[in-house]
């Protein structure tokens, strides 16, 4: 079996502990994702899906439990170490694209690479290559406002994959699109993921999309069940 790209063990997370507003969200959540696996994360609204994705992506720390990414134990590591690991190993896609409005599609995809120390020419070449893969070669010079919702989200996928992360985390990546566009854009995402051989954890409410992934995990009462 291949090595895990993500391993969460016995993750606990409570918001506002010890106050009347206490919310115990994760209660011993375990998850292992191996290289090349694409896993659907299904959960009722408010069950803690975003909390789990933030912890898996090193944007938030659990109260207890272990987080391992690409074989590196990140439990209790400094913010600096988490930022470095996140930049290197993790790509994020959200329901809303969060592209920078003043930059073109190509620049939006090149920026994370420049932040990682890549040269301008190589960042540009990779951005154009990724945009071509999602059928947006002719839109590279467009700013987000001049792109359709589906095109904006495809640019966001390219940006998430720009630094060739080991792990893609996506929170309802097509949730903001009409059903037909969502279907098409989701296919593009799956093609990109398959092409790069990366692993992915993709939250979705859509059972048809979940069925296209390798397996589904369900977040129930703070734990993950297969
Ligand atoms: N910063 C916070 N402070 C207090 N409570 C929070 C905070 N963030 C989230 N919560 C609560 O924790 C629970 C889980 O939130 P989370 O956003 O992880 O759920 P979710 O499954 O992603 O929901 P949705 O599908 O509706 O986006 C919710 O009850 C939410 O109200």
Provide the token pair at 202.
Answer: 């993709």
Percent of the chain topping pLDDT 70: 99
**What is the C-alpha radius of gyration for the chain, rounded to an integer number of angstroms?**
17
Atom 31 in ligand 1: residue holding the nearest Cα: 46
Beta bridge partners of residue 171, listed in sequence order: 203
Q: Tens digit of pLDDT for each residue in 3-56? A: 799 999 999 999 999 999 999 999 999 999 999 999 999 998 899 999 999 999
pLDDT above 60: residue 171 = yes
**In 3D, which of 116, 109, 117, 106 has the Cα closest to residue 86?**
116
- Region 66-83: mean pLDDT is 93
Half-sphere exposure of 42 (CA within 13 A, CB side): 15
Question: Measured in angstroms, how far is the CA atom of residue 223 from the centroid of ligand 1?
Answer: 15
pLDDT, residue 2, reads: 67
The maximal CA–CA distance of the chain, rounded, in angstroms, is 55
pLDDT, residue 72, reads: 92
| Strand runs labelled E in the chain | 4-15, 23-34, 38-42, 64-69, 72-73, 90-93, 167-171, 199-203, 215-220, 223-225
pLDDT, residue 183, reads: 87
- Region 146-154: mean pLDDT is 93
pTM of the model: 0.92
Mean pLDDT of the chain, nearest integer: 93
Atom 17 in ligand 1: residue holding the nearest Cα: 50
> Would you say 109 and 132 are in contact if contact means Cβ atoms under 8 Å apart?
no
- Cβ–ligand 1 distance for 56 under 6 Å, the answer no
- Region 95-112: mean pLDDT is 94
> Would you say 126 and 166 are in contact if contact means Cβ atoms under 8 Å apart?
no
Atom 1 in ligand 1: residue holding the nearest Cα: 15
pLDDT above 90: residue 177 = no
* Complete domains list, the chain, with CATH: 4-225 (3.40.50.300)
Distance (Å, rounded) from C-alpha 22 to C-alpha 15?
6
CB atoms within 10 A of CB 187: 13
- Cβ–ligand 1 distance for 48 under 6 Å, the answer yes
Question: Measured in angstroms, how far is the CA atom of residue 50 from the centroid of ligand 1?
Answer: 7
Distance (Å, rounded) from C-alpha 160 to C-alpha 40?
18
- Region 129-150: mean pLDDT is 94
pLDDT above 90: residue 205 = no
Question: Measured in angstroms, how far is the CA atom of residue 130 from the centroid of ligand 1?
Answer: 33
pLDDT, residue 1, reads: 57
- Cβ–ligand 1 distance for 220 under 6 Å, the answer no
Q: Tens digit of pLDDT for each residue in 3-16? A: 799 999 999 999 99
Crossing angle for the helix pair 120-133 and 105-115, to the nearest 10 degrees: 130
- Region 81-88: mean pLDDT is 91
Sign of CA pseudo-dihedral 133, 138, 140, 143? negative
């Amino acid at each position: 079996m291949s090595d895990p790209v993500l391993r969460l063990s016995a993750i606990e997370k409570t918001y506002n502990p010890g106050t009347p507003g206490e919310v115990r969200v994760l209660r011993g959540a375990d998850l292992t994702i191996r290289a090349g696996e694409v896993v659907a994360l299904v959960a009722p609204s408010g069950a803690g899906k975003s909390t789990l994705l933030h912890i898996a992506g090193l944007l938030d720390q659990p109260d207890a439990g272990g987080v391992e990414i690409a074989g590196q134990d990140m439990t209790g590591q400094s913010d600096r170490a988490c930022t470095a690991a996140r930049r290197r190993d993790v790509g994020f896609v959200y329901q809303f694209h969060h592209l920078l409005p003043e930059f073109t599609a190509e620049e939006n995809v090149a920026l994370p690479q420049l932040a990682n120390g890549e040269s301008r020419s190589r960042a540009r070449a990779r951005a154009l290559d990724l945009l071509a893969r999602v059928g947006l070669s002719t839109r590279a010079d467009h700013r987000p406002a001049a792109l359709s919702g589906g095109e904006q989200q495809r640019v966001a996928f390219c940006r998430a994959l720009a630094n060739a992360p080991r792990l893609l985390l996506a929170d309802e990546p097509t949730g903001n699109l009409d059903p037909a566009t969502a279907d098409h854009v989701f296919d593009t995402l799956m093609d990109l993921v398959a092409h790069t051989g990366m692993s992915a954890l993709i939250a979705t409410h859509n059972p048809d999309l979940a069925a296209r992934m390798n397996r589904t995990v369900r977040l129930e009462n703070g734990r993950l069940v297969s």
